[in-house]
Amino acid sequence: MTIDDSRLIILASGSPRRRELLSMLGLPFEVIVSDSDESTPADWTPEMIVRGLALRKAEAVVPAAGERNAVIVGSDTIVVLDGKVLGKPVDKQDSKAMLELLQGRTHQVYTGVACIGLPEGTVSVEHRVTSVTMRTLREEEISAYIATGEPADKAGSYAIQGLGATLVEGIEGCYFNVVGLPLSLLGGMLAKYGISVL
């Protein structure tokens, strides 16, 4: 694959965490926030959800990207416990219920990544899974964590890169996958579009 230094990366996400992770690669990129529908059929598996939504987010910004020499990157992350998907909490009570479910248990974090090469329109979609074990929590710890506001917009009601790190006993797999963008996976995908990370 020929290296193409002129190719721009467009991140189809408003997530400050994904923006921060992508900036670690030291490559030029811009953000176009995707406003795609995130509803999915009830019978979709976790793999189908993250892959489908990552692609949907990337496709939603194609019109805004125009005819540029670029690669659009879309990503989606979900938390899964015993086959049940835990999305973002709707309120503090929902956060409490999720954290009570997760504490003392091992769950899986799925992140899908989709790349669309422009102007040619080539598409690639992958996903990664990381297992996360949360320690047993006291009720007052759960309440104190919710009071920080950190769980409010996070899948599974915790942020491993923030105070939520104190809730996690161990992980198996890619840490960045849990934050929301598996960099090793993305690096390999970008190479197919002529963008070299190293």
List of E strands, 122-185:
122-134, 168-172
Helix (H) or strand (E) holding 22: helix 16-23
**Beta bridge mates, 110:** 78, 129
> Which pLDDT value is given to residue 198?
85
Confidence of residue 87 (pLDDT cuts 50, 70, 90): confident
Q: What is the pLDDT of residues 15-39, one digit of tens each?
A: 899 999 999 999 999 999 988 888 8
Q: What is the mean pLDDT of residues 1-25?
A: 86
Helix (H) or strand (E) holding 73: strand 70-81
Of 6 and 131, the structure prediction assigns the larger pLDDT to: 131
- pTM recorded for the entire structure: 0.93
Question: What is the average pLDDT score of the chain?
Answer: 94
> Which pLDDT value is given to residue 1?
53
- Fold of the domain spanning 8-191: Maf protein (3.90.950)
Q: What percent of the chain has pLDDT over 70?
A: 97
DSSP 156: G
Give residue 135's Cα distance to chain centre: 23
Q: Centre a 10 Å sphere on the Cβ of residue 30 and count the other Cβ atoms it contains.
A: 11
Instruction: Give dist(CA 9, CA 56) in Å, integer.
Output: 17
* Active-site residue identified among 5, 43, 76, 91: 76
> Which pLDDT value is given to residue 139?
95
Q: What is the mean pLDDT of residues 131-135?
A: 98
Q: What is the pLDDT of residues 142-158, one digit of tens each?
A: 999 999 999 998 999 99
Q: How far apart are the first and last CA of the chain?
A: 14
Residue 35 is a catalytic residue: no
Contact 128, 179 (CB under 8 A): no
> Which pLDDT value is given to residue 3?
64
The structural domains of the chain, with segments of one domain joined by +, span 8-191
Is 81 a residue whose pLDDT tops 80? Answer: yes
Q: What is the mean pLDDT of residues 126-140?
A: 97
